[in-house]
């Protein structure tokens, strides 16, 4: 099993990265090969709406034609078994880097063919970890469920099961991180390979 985790936070050692690393440890414990990518280390753009990824009978169908630091990651994802995404919530949404990454991942796999939602032929299980400086109940009051469910629907373009995780505790102290990591343990199990 091959698991790729994508950190959409500018911080490599804080809450989002820590939760992704713990999830990868869980995957490694059952023999998975894992990789953690920090988006802020890459030089890339969001989708430029060139529509080359929509051209039928070409090598680009379902593949973003832009060539930059994101290109190898997008190609690795398409042959992975599990994709874990993580982002803090800034101003009601994922980070700008994560949003640009998602545009490139989602749009290239979106089908314009009637009756076919995705051009992607494989199956990738996916999960999204959201971190933020507010309790889960406030997240619901602010309508963030719309964001979580929207990304879950878009991740279904990868034809596999998708889950999202909100750490149930404010994750700023080491004691809270431990509680959040306990919640991660059940999340890891749910992302077993598709068979």
pLDDT in tens, 133-160: 777 677 777 777 777 788 888 888 777 7
For the stretch 28-62, pLDDT in tens is 888 889 999 999 999 999 999 999 988 888 888 88
Q: Residue written as tokens 């063919």?
A: 113
For residue 148, being part of any structural domain is answered with: yes
For residue 47, being part of any structural domain is answered with: yes
Q: How far apart are CA 150 and CA 171, in angstroms?
A: 24
For residue 142, being part of any structural domain is answered with: yes
Distance of CA 15 to the CA centre of its chain: 16
What are phi and psi for residue 118, nearest 5 degrees?
-135, 145
Write out the residue range of the structural domain in which residue 29 sits: 2-189
For residue 194, being part of any structural domain is answered with: no
Domain holding 60: CATH number?
3.40.50.360
Domain total of the chain = 1
- Burial level of 67, CB count in 10 A (0-12/13-18/19+)? exposed
For the stretch 82-126, pLDDT in tens is 899 999 988 878 999 999 999 999 888 887 777 777 777 778 888
For residue 24, being part of any structural domain is answered with: yes
Contact 189, 151 (CB under 8 A): no
Is residue 169 classed as helix, strand or coil in its secondary structure? coil
Q: Which residues pair with 38 in a beta bridge?
A: 7
For the stretch 60-73, pLDDT in tens is 888 899 999 999 99
Q: How far apart are CA 129 and CA 113, in angstroms?
A: 31
Answer yes or no: pTM beyond 0.85.
no
For residue 78, being part of any structural domain is answered with: yes
For residue 195, being part of any structural domain is answered with: no
For residue 174, being part of any structural domain is answered with: yes
């Amino acid at each position: 099993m091959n698991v790729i985790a994508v950190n959409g936070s500018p911080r490599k050692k804080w809450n989002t990265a820590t939760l992704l690393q713990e999830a990868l440890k869980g995957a490694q414990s059952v023999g998975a090969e894992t990789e953690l990518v920090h988006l802020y280390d890459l030089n890339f753009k969001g989708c430029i709406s060139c529509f080359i990824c929509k051209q039928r009978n070409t090598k680009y169908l379902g593949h973003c034609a832009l060539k930059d630091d994101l290109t190898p990651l997008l190609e690795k994802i398409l042959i992975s078994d599990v994709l874990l995404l993580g982002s803090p919530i800034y101003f009601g949404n994922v980070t700008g880097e994560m949003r640009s990454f998602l545009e490139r991942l989602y749009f290239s796999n979106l089908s314009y063919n009637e009756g076919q939602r995705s051009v992607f032929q494989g199956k990738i299980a996916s999960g999204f970890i959201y971190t933020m400086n507010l309790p889960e109940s406030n997240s619901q009051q602010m309508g963030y469920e719309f964001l979580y469910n929207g990304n879950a629907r878009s991740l279904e373009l990868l034809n596999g099961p998708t889950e999202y995780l909100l750490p149930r505790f404010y994750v700023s102290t080491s004691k809270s991180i431990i509680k959040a990591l306990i919640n991660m343990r059940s999340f890891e199990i749910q992302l077993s390979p598709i068979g």
